Amino acid sequence: MVSLNKNSTEELKDLARSSMTSQGRRTKNKPAEKLPGDRNSRHATAKEFFRNYTVVLALVTVTIFFAISKSSTFLALGNFQSILTGQAVLFVLALTLTVALGAGEIDLSIGGGLGFTSVLIAYLTSVRGISIPLSLLISLLAMFVVAAINGFLIVRIGVNGLITTLAMGTVLDGLSQAISNSSTIGNIPHRILLIMQERFLGVGLPFWYAAAIGIVIWYVLHHMQSGRYLYFTGEGREAARLAGIKVNRIRITSLFVSATGAWFAGLVLLGQTGAAQSGTGDPYLLPAYAATFLGAATIKPGRFNPIGTFVAVLLLAVGTTGLQLFGVADWVTNVFDGAILIVAIGLATLVGK
């Protein structure tokens, strides 16, 4: 335990402000954030441009490739509408995961939480006949309990977050099997289907829900003091604590955000598919991490950010859809997702140096 006097506290606060400006992980070989009036910021070099927009350029390149290769099907308006609608679950899961990763927390329980939520809501409404609002409340409280347990073990006790959340995800998968009796639960209430299958401008409402969530997260992280504190916590936990930031509260809150995202993603998945069964959330775990790490390599390189995550999800969606149009086997998609994650972690590590 380090004791501080008033003078040293002020010095640490100055250090905190300096660390937030330089974005924590950057070294002196990387340029610090430039002031808006700086002449160099208006004349960015080609190297900086490609560094900041690598994933965006990759998205444009992949889109052009599939547009040329499969122009009759890929360029159809309905195809793009389907891409946005079909990836709504991943958008929600990855965007809220961005908050946890930004705070320096790894939450591997979100896949199990997604599947558990969809099964629990389906069971309560379809099997038990409980009203939709009460079922949603019960399922949300259940995910809050999950987040509270994760936060207590990781933050308060100091258990490894990777092991804790991985184990929690396995527990949730087991509970999903027990609740569903390892079978599919159908007969989902029409009101749930309605709010998740209606369309606006040809795109399913879940995408617009995800977009709204992304805007809120973007505003909080980049335009509010709490967002700056969250990033500083993830980039320098001890320095943040010494600067007076409530590190533990931020860490626990970030886990609640990711758990809430898993809850809403489970609701979206249930409404889109019209049925629930155990294990349905696990396939979303790897793509969610691939998107967040890939997003950390673009827009604001070296920092998990919602705009980068959004672009990365689009890249994954376009790539997957394009491969499906070529009629490739299912295993190719898994290879693609895994390869993207490897590349994403590599890029995020490089730009973070």
Mean pLDDT of 16-34: 44
Long-range CB contact pairs, 125-131, < 8 A, 24+: 125/188, 125/189, 125/192, 126/185, 126/186, 126/187, 126/188, 126/189, 127/185
| % of the chain residues with pLDDT over 90 | 51
The highest-level CATH class for domain 61-351 is mainly alpha
CA angle 231, 237, 243 (to 5 degrees): 90
- The confidence score (pLDDT) of residue 352 equals 57
CB 142 within 8 A of CB 176: no
Q: What is the DSSP string of 15-76?
A: HHHHHHHHTSS--TTSPPPPPTT-HHHHS--HHHHHHHSHHHHHHHHHHHHHHHHTHHHHT-
Per-residue pLDDT at 184 exceeds 80: yes
Q: Rounded mean pLDDT of 87-107?
A: 95
User: Do 268 and 209 form a contact (C-beta atoms < 8 A)?
Assistant: yes
Kindly report, residue by residue over 44-87, the tens digit of the pLDDT. 576 677 777 878 888 888 889 888 887 778 878 888 888 899 89
Rounded Cα distance, 124 and 130, in Å? 6
pLDDT at 32 over 60: no
* Predicted pLDDT at 43: 52
Domain ranges of the chain: 61-351
**Amino acid identity, position 8:** S
Q: Is 185 helix (H, G, I), strand (E, B) or coil?
A: strand
pLDDT greater than 80 at residue 12: no
126: its two tokens: 């379809």
195-237 tens-digit pLDDT = 898 889 889 999 999 999 999 999 999 999 999 999 999 988 8
Q: Looking at residue 244, what is its pLDDT?
A: 87
- Joined tokens for residue 20: 């937030």
pLDDT of residue 27: 39
Is the pLDDT at 348 greater than 60, yes or no?
Answer: yes
Region 278-305: what's the mean pLDDT? Answer: 88
